A and B are shown apart, each in its own frame.
Chain A
Amino acid sequence: MTSQDLWVPEPVRVLSRKQELESTWTLELEQVGKRSFLPGQFNMLYVFGVGEVPISLSGDTSLTESLVHTIRAVGPVSSQLAAMQPMAAVGLRGPFGTGWPMAAAEGSDLLLIAGGLGLAPLRPAIYHVLRNRERYGRVVLLYGTRSPDDILYRDQLEEWSRLPDFDVHITVDHAGSDWQGKVGVVPTLIPTLAFDPEDTVAMVCGPEIMMRFTASALRDAGVEDEAIYLSMERNMKCALGHCGHCQFGSTFVCKDGPVLPFSKVRGLLSLKEF
């Protein structure tokens, strides 16, 4: 894509649509022009005549035939996107943003920590790790969500938890008595893990409050701020670092992020968007 193309949504077809949760759907979009993307990047998806929103890529970066997005219907654009049927056309710009530090984390232990829908932007990193398992030390996935009914990619999580060298812990905020798993918020799992904080890279994605408590638990466990990466969400318009919509401080989430080290966003996490 030329830089000029990045302003213009390109029409692509929906190939398939799968319901994940009550209001969350995964769309597989046709891949035009063989864009490659990095785990952690996002596309701007445009519903013609309605509007455009940033949505993370949630598929495997090694698959070049299609692009996968998991969308929760929360407002006008995301609801229309999530309702798109196969063969419908969506406008697409991207991919944009920085990815997870997959290369920099090689040789280290990995703590992948997701909350709710935050598992979607982390999933490409998980695929990458599983494909290149020998490049990383111990790998732990912590996933926290609201209730057992809100567990995203449930079948895949079960599959991953059976792998010998991939440690998966799931916890929910509340549950009925038929749930046999853990109950409690995701940061409480951190002190229970055996890991070397000096040689660990943490990648965290979820609602900001969850990321704030998680980063704090990671610091308490001895992980350096520079080794904690968060995927930030801010409302976006251009996604190109021009309009300032996603700016906080000197940081443009669309082009400097969305994945940023905690050392850079520490003081900004509690700021409201404008």
Chain B
Amino acid sequence: MKNIAQIVCEHPFFEGLNSEFCDLMCGCARNVRFNPGEYLFHQGEDADYLYLVRHGQVALELAVPGKAPVSFQTLHDGDVVGVSWVLPPYHWASDARAMSLTRAIALDAHCLRKKCDEDPALGYAVMKRLLPILTSRLHATQMQILDVYGAPEQPQ
């Protein structure tokens, strides 16, 4: 059986991270599991964790007043759930619901932020891994906002 250090260091998010930094990360990590339908977090709550998905599928959802929640992204094996832990005031920007049995590593955000603040090289290494995720989500959002598959506007 793999120990938590192996699991954390082998997760795609930490690919290429040196072992010293990896060990530091492991001090903030614990295994978690969510049953189908269970929420990892809710919009507006304190963003206290960064989740590294090992297996499963998680839907990011937005509550729409008077309507059923709308899912705008699903995350799968090897993905990261939750980036709000890095942006003050550290509140989740959406809900996250496990669609299937989901096993993940939860990294404590207070611990993570403290270690990144104390060691800028570690902080930089973590940021370098987060930025491509944020950029790709920004591009995805642009495409979604443009509603590219929607019916073209009728000429006036």
Contacts and interface: CB of A to CB of B under 8 A. Distances in A.
Contact of B148 (A74, A116, A179): A116
A150 B149 contact: yes
B144 A185 contact: yes
Interface string A50-75: 00000000000000000000001011
Nearest to A118: B149
B83 interface: no
Interface residues of A, number: 32
B140 A188 contact: yes
B99 to A, nearest CB: 7
Interface stretch (A94-102, A207-215, A254-262): A207-215
Interface stretch (A12-20, A169-177, A222-230): A169-177
Nearest to A192: B76
B148 A174 contact: no
B136 interface: yes
B25 interface: no
Interface in A80-129: 115-117
A183 B149 contact: no
A33 B132 CA distance: 54
Contacts, number: 79
A145 interface: yes
Interface in B61-87: 61, 68-74, 76, 78
B70 A75 contact: no
A35 to B, nearest CB: 29
Interface string B13-24: 000000000000
Given A188-B140, A192-B76, A176 B71 contact: yes
Given A177-B59, A177-B97, A213-B143, A183 B71 contact: yes
Interface string B113-156: 00000000000000000000000100110011011111110110
A176 to B, nearest CB: 5
Contacts of A185: 139-140, 143-144
Contacts of B148: 115-116, 206-207, 209-210
Nearest to A178: B68
Given A179-B71, A182-B74, A183-B73, A146 B150 contact: yes
B73 A74 contact: no
Contacts of A115: 148-149
Contacts of A176: 68-71
A176 B76 CA distance: 18
Given A184-B140, A209-B143, A146 B149 contact: yes
A2 interface: no
A64 B76 CA distance: 43
A174 B99 CA distance: 15
Contact of B61 (A74, A177, A187, A207): A177
Nearest to B100: A180
A23 interface: yes
Interface in A144-169: 144-146, 150
Contacts of A210: 143, 148-149
Contacts of B154: 74-75
Contacts of A188: 136, 140
B70 A180 contact: no
Residue among A23, A185, A188, A210 having the largest count of chain B Cβ atoms under 10 Å: A185
A-B pairs with lowest CB-CB distance, top 9: A116-B149, A146-B149, A207-B148, A183-B74, A185-B143, A185-B140, A183-B71, A184-B73, A209-B148
Interface of B: 59-61, 68-74, 76, 78, 97, 99, 136, 139-140, 143-144, 146-152, 154-155
